[in-house]
Chain A
C-alpha cells in the first residue's frame, strides 16, 4: 500500500522520460513496426551468416526452382538463390533510405530556415519548391537519372531532389508560426542576432516534426530506389538491390513469380514498418500529448 502511494507520488512528480520499451508495450502498431524493422535489419546485416549461398553465384542446374528446403525462396533464371539475394539486396536499399533521410532533412532544414525568415529569399525559394512539387515525383527522379551516370550517388541525389521540397515546406511552416511568438519578439527586442534567434529559439521547435518527416522520407526513399531500379533507371543493374531483382524477374513472372514476390514482400514489409514507426512517433510528439512524454 505504502509502496503504491510512493510510486504514484513519484510518477506524478517526476517528469521522467519513458523508454522505448514502455511506449512499445502500450502501442501495438509501434511494437509491430519495431519488430519487423529489427528483423529486416538483422537479416540484412548478418546476410552472409544466414545463408551459405553467394548472392551472385550462378548455378545452371538450379534454374527457376520454386521455394524448397534447399532454396528457401527459390532460385532465379540463372540459378541464384533468392533468399540470399533478397537479404543481401536489403543492404543497399536500407543504406539509401538512411542516407537520403539524413541528407534531405539537413538540406531541407537549412533552406526552410532561410525561407521562413527572409521574405526576399522566400519568394524565390518557394517558387522553385512549388515547381519541383508540381512534377510527379517518379517522373522527376527518372528524368534526372536519365542524364546522369548511373551510380548509387546519382540515385541518392535524384531521390533527394524530389523529397527536399516537402521538408522545406514543413520547416518553413514551423518557422512562420514560431516567429510570431512573443518570446521570439522578446529576443528580437533584446537585441539577439538573427542567427542566434534561428538556432536558439526556432531550430529546436522544428526538430520534432522533422524527425517524424525523416522516417517518412526514409520509407519513401527505399520505395523510390526500388521503383527506379525496377524501371531500369536506378542502381546499376549488377547490384542486387530489391528493385533490380524484381526487374530481372519480370520476363519470368508467370513461370517463377517468387523472383518478384520475395523481394517485393521484403520491400513492402520494410516500408510498412517504417511507416508504422513514423505514425507512432508522430502521435508521441504531437504537442497535445506532450505531457505524456
Chain B
C-alpha cells in the first residue's frame, strides 16, 4: 500500500511542473512585447521600460522562468503592478471569503444531492424520479450567473429574505456571515448538485440490484438502513470521484459567483487583475487554484487506496 501511495504522490510532480510552465508561459503567448501588453494602450515608453525591469522581462526566457519558479517556491509571488503591494499579502486578504464559499457550497451540495440521488434510485422509474432527474438536467444547463441572478431576484428582491449581495467576515458574527453565504453557495452548487445527484442515483441503482441487498431486505431491514447503511457505502467510489472532479467546476465557478454576489475573494481579485493585466497576481492565483485542484484529486485517490482494498493502480 505504501509504494502505491508514494507512486501516486510522485505522479503529481510532472503535472505540477507542467502547470507551472503553462501559467508562466501565458504572458508570452500574446504577440508582441509582453511589457507593452501589460502596460496597455496609453503607456509611455518609460512605463513600459519600468515594467520590463520590474518583472525581469529583459532577461532571457529561461532565466526568467528559473527566477520566477525559485521565488514562487519560496512563497514570494512578486509585487502587484497595479497596487504595488506584495501579491502574497493581497491573496491572504482575500482568502477567507473564497474558502468560506467553497466549503459552504460543498456542504450544501453534498447534503442535498446525495439524499436526492439515493431517493431517486430507490424510486427509480417513478414520476418523482423522472422529475428529480429532469431538474438535474436543468441544473446542469443553467449557468452559475443566471442561477445566481434568478435566486437574487426571488429571495432578495421580491421576498426580501436574504441580502442581495456582499460578504460579512466571520468576525462580524456567525448569523450575518451565514445569511450572506446562502444564495452564493446555492447558485454555485446548482450544477455540482445536478452532477452528484445523477451519479449517486446511477451507482446506488447498480448496487441495489446485487445479492447482498436482497439478503438485507430478506432479513427485514428498514428502507433507511438498507439504502444508507448497505447501498450507499458500496456505491461511494464513483460518488467520491465525481466530487473530486467537481472541485474543478467549483473552483472555476467561484470566480463567477464572486462577481455576481460582489464577494471580495480570490475570484474577484483575479478578475480585476485580468482586467488590469496585473500579471503577477494572475500568475499567483492561477497557480494556487491549479495546485489546490491537483492536491484535492491526489487526496481523493489516496482515500480510495485506504478505503477500498480492491483498488490497485
Q: Which residues of B contact A131 (CB under 8 A)?
A: 15, 17-19, 21-22
* CB of B259 closer than 8 Å to a CB of A: yes
Q: Given the complex of chains A and B, what is the CA–CA distance between A254 and B164 in angstroms?
A: 9
Given the interface pairs A130-B15, A134-B293, A268-B146, the reply to whether A148 lies near B30 with Cβ below 8 Å is: yes
Interface presence of B193 (CB below 8 A): no
A293 at the interface (CB under 8 A from B): no
Q: How far is the CA of A126 from the CA of B306 in the complex (A)?
A: 27
Docked-complex contact A147 and B275, CB < 8 angstroms: no
Task: List residues of chain A with CB within 8 A of the CB of B290.
Answer: 134-136
Q: If the complex has contacts A134-B293, A136-B289, A275-B137, are A142 and B143 also in contact, measured as CB distance less than 8 A?
A: no
- Residue of B at shortest CB range from A142? B274
B18-46 toward A: CB 8 Å interface, digit per residue (1/0)? 11011100110111001001100000000
Name the residue of chain A whose CB is nearest to the CB of B11. A130
Stretch at the interface among A80-88, A110-118, A222-230: A222-230
Tell me if A246 is interfacial: C-beta within 8 Å of chain B. yes
Residue of A nearest to B256 (CB): A227
Q: How far is the CB of A260 from chain B (nearest CB, A)?
A: 5
Interface size for B (C-beta < 8 A) is 49
Check A144–B137 contact: CB distance below 8 A: no
Of the candidate stretches B52-60, B117-125, B169-177, B247-255, the one touching chain A is: B247-255
Report if B101 contacts A (CB, 8 A): no
Q: Tell yes or no: A257 within 8 A of B by CB.
A: yes
Contact assessment for A267 and B146 in the assembled complex, using a CB-CB cutoff below 8 Å: yes
Q: Are A134 and B252 in contact (CB under 8 A)?
A: no
Give the nearest-CB partner of B27 in chain A: A147
Q: What A residues does B282 contact at CB under 8 A?
A: 143, 146
Interface contact A257-B289, CB-CB below 8 Å = no
How many Å from the CB of B158 to the closest CB on chain A?
Answer: 9
- In Å, the complex CA distance between A253 and B260 comes to 11
Known: A127-B18, A231-B255, A272-B137. A139 touches B143 (CB 8 A): no
Q: A142-B270, A142-B271 are in contact. List 8 more A-B contacts (CB 8 A).
A: A127-B14, A128-B22, A137-B252, A138-B256, A139-B286, A231-B255, A253-B149, A267-B146
